[in-house]
């Protein structure tokens, strides 16, 4: 249900901010440059430019949803949170002879993540003491208990009573309302009920926000990010985890390219090489690198060599196919022209085929880098000593969701940076791409 609410809010934000932004940021909706003079833009993809206001609002929306559904300290509108603090209810106990007595239960609901918070002196928080209560009159005595948010407590109200449950004392009413075993009563602070055996229970109201275990607030994740840089996790700082993952990717990719590109050229240039490598390439290409992880671990262990071999295999087939299609993309008239100008076979390769295939090789390299980055994280998830994937999977075993989220964000940023970097390199090295 909460999921549907998130979806509805997101869709609402999409359209709502559109109508709002059209009034507030008029200039962002004006067509720029030559597009100003185009009367037809719907259907003309080249006339569409990304509306930067939309991009900013989009990021803010995701961030706000994140805040709104967590117990964040950031002052943004938030959804009703879980109940926290003291509440009390009365129960009526009845003996077999019909005499009854009322007593009060005071529940102290505390933050579920109290041990992960720090006070002003930097000491971790502790679970609060149970509220002190007067025992009161009658055979049923008042109780004081604690319970964490998002949690559930079975209350043995008879523990301090004069007549125990075994001796025939039963709870017949809560807050004056008659109840039978299995019943539940809603109060603003949560749900009070009786178990099937007749013991009172209390479940504090959770609201719509998510517990820290499921989705930590943004500032919690940010603090964890700082902490990971200073203290590190599993013996390595965040930078070291990232560096190890990146190093594996770059190394595996480079070896894959250095081996794959010449093989691809050979396949495009000689029938023997094409016949030789075709079955291998066609067989290996559809196998996802992840499927090779178990074999790689058996052969090479969980160390660096195994990772680099796996990434080499992930990049190799992509680079072979890219180089091969680069050769097949050379216009025959260029080759003929070069031969007619007196070029030797070696010169044809180095002066015509290699430069002409660069655009294809670069496209392949971009794909291969993306696949390698995805594969390294997955490989580290399975087994590794260090790396972003290793950090995430270890954190998940200790339910440190904030570390998992830090890891995911770093993986996303680096994947994005790789793509942007490769594009920039491509524009710089192959200015003629797409202009011929």
Partner 1 sequence: MSELLIKDISMRFDLPNGGHVQALKNVTLDIKSGELMSVLGPSGCGKTTLLNIVAGFLAPTEGQIMLEDEVVHGPGPERGMVFQQGALFEWMSVRDNVSFGPDMKGMSRAESKENVEHLLDVVGLQDFKEKAVYELSGGMQQRVALARCLANDPDVILMDEPLGALDALTREKMQSLVLDLWKDTGKTIILITHSVEEALLLGERLLVMAPRPGRVHKEYRLPFADMGVGNDLREVKKDPEYAPTREEILEMIWNMEEEIMGRTEESA
Write out the residues near partner 1 by the rule CB under 8 A. 331, 333-334, 336-344, 347, 351-352, 355-356, 358, 430-432, 435-436
Burial class of residue 169 (count of CB atoms within 10 Å of its CB; 0-12, 13-18, 19+):
buried
Return phi, psi of residue 84, to 5°. -145, 140
Nearer Cβ to partner 1 (39/340): 340
* Distance from C-alpha of 353 to C-alpha of 291, rounded to nearest angstrom: 35
Three-state SS for 280-292 is HHHHHCCCCHHHH
Nearer Cβ to partner 1 (288/329): 329
* Distance from C-alpha of 213 to C-alpha of 205, rounded to nearest angstrom: 17
Residue 332: CB minimum distance to partner 1, A: 9
* Distance from C-alpha of 418 to C-alpha of 423, rounded to nearest angstrom: 9
Residue 349: CB minimum distance to partner 1, A: 13
Residue 333: CB minimum distance to partner 1, A: 4
Query: Sheet harboring 177-178: ordered strands across?
Result: 143-148, 100-110, 85-94, 170-174, 177-178
Q: How many CB atoms lie within 10 A of CB 425?
A: 13
Residue 359: CB minimum distance to partner 1, A: 10
Strand-pairing partners, residue 144, are 106
Burial class of residue 199 (count of CB atoms within 10 Å of its CB; 0-12, 13-18, 19+):
middle
Nearer Cβ to partner 1 (21/338): 338
Residue 413: CB minimum distance to partner 1, A: 33
Nearer Cβ to partner 1 (354/382): 354
* Angle, alpha carbons 249-252-254 (nearest 5°): 100
Residue 36: CB minimum distance to partner 1, A: 26
Q: Which two tokens stand for residue 423?
A: 């594009």
Residue 338: CB minimum distance to partner 1, A: 7
Which of 250, 249, 229 lies closest to 240 in space, CA to CA?
Answer: 229
Residue 268: CB minimum distance to partner 1, A: 18
* Distance from C-alpha of 213 to C-alpha of 252, rounded to nearest angstrom: 36
Nearer Cβ to partner 1 (99/350): 350
Strand-pairing partners, residue 86, are 108
| 34 Cβ contact partners less than 8 Å away, ≥ 6 residues apart | none
* Distance from C-alpha of 124 to C-alpha of 108, rounded to nearest angstrom: 19
| 364 Cβ contact partners less than 8 Å away, ≥ 6 residues apart | 318, 319, 321, 322, 323
Which of 80, 106, 117, 89 lies closest to 205 in space, CA to CA?
Answer: 80
Length of the chain in residues, anyone?
436
Nearer Cβ to partner 1 (338/408): 338
Residue 260: CB minimum distance to partner 1, A: 22
Nearer Cβ to partner 1 (71/357): 357
Residue 425: CB minimum distance to partner 1, A: 16
Nearer Cβ to partner 1 (356/375): 356
* Distance from C-alpha of 267 to C-alpha of 285, rounded to nearest angstrom: 15
Task: Give the three-class secondary structure for 100.
Answer: strand
Nearer Cβ to partner 1 (291/341): 341
Task: Give the three-class secondary structure for 236.
Answer: strand
Nearer Cβ to partner 1 (294/355): 355
Residue 335: CB minimum distance to partner 1, A: 9
Contact 234, 345 (CB under 8 A): no
| 38 Cβ contact partners less than 8 Å away, ≥ 6 residues apart | 31, 44, 47
Nearer Cβ to partner 1 (80/355): 355
């Amino acid at each position: 249900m909460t999921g549907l609410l998130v979806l509805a809010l997101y869709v609402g934000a999409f359209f709502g901010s559109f109508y709002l932004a059209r009034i507030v940021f008029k200039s962002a909706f004006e067509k720029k440059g030559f597009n100003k003079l185009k009367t037809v833009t719907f259907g003309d993809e080249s006339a569409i430019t990304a509306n930067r206001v939309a991009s900013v609002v989009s990021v803010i929306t995701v961030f706000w949803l994140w805040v709104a559904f967590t117990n964040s300290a950031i002052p943004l509108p938030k959804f009703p949170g879980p109940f926290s603090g003291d509440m009390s209810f009365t129960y009526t106990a009845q003996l077999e002879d019909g005499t009854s007595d009322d007593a009060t239960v005071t529940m102290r609901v505390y933050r579920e993540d109290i041990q992960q918070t720090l006070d002003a002196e930097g000491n971790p928080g502790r679970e609060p003491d149970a509220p002190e209560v007067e025992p009161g009159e009658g055979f049923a005595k008042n109780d004081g208990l604690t319970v964490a948010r998002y949690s559930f407590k079975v209350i043995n109200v008879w523990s301090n009573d004069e007549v125990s449950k075994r001796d025939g004392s039963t709870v017949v009413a809560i807050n004056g309302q008659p109840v039978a075993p299995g019943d539940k009563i809603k109060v603003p602070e949560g749900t009070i009920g009786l178990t099937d055996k007749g013991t009172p229970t209390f479940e504090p109201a959770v609201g719509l926000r998510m517990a820290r275990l499921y989705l930590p607030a943004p500032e919690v994740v940010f603090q964890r990010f700082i902490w990971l840089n200073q203290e590190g996790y599993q013996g390595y700082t965040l930078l070291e985890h990232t560096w190890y993952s990146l190093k594996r990717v770059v190394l595996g990719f480079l070896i894959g390219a250095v081996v794959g590109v010449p093989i691809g050229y050979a396949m495009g240039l000689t029938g023997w090489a094409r016949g030789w490598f075709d079955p291998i390439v066609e067989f290996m290409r559809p196998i996802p690198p992840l499927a090779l992880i178990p074999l790689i671990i058996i052969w090479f262990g969980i160390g660096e060599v195994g990772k680099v071999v796996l990434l080499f295999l992930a990049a190799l087939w992509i680079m072979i196919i890219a180089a091969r299609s680069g050769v097949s993309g050379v216009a025959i008239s260029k080759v003929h022209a070069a031969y007619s100008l007196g070029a030797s076979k070696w010169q044809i390769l180095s002066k015509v085929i290699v430069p002409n295939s660069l655009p294809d090789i670069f496209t392949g390299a971009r794909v291969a880098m993306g696949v390698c980055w995805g594969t390294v994280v997955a490989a580290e998830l399975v087994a590794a000593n260090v790396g972003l994937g290793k950090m995430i999977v270890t954190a998940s075993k200790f339910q440190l969701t904030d570390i998992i989220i830090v890891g995911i964000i770093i993986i996303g940023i680096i994947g994005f940076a790789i793509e942007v970097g490769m594009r920039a390199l491509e524009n710089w090295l192959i200015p003629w791409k797409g202009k011929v």
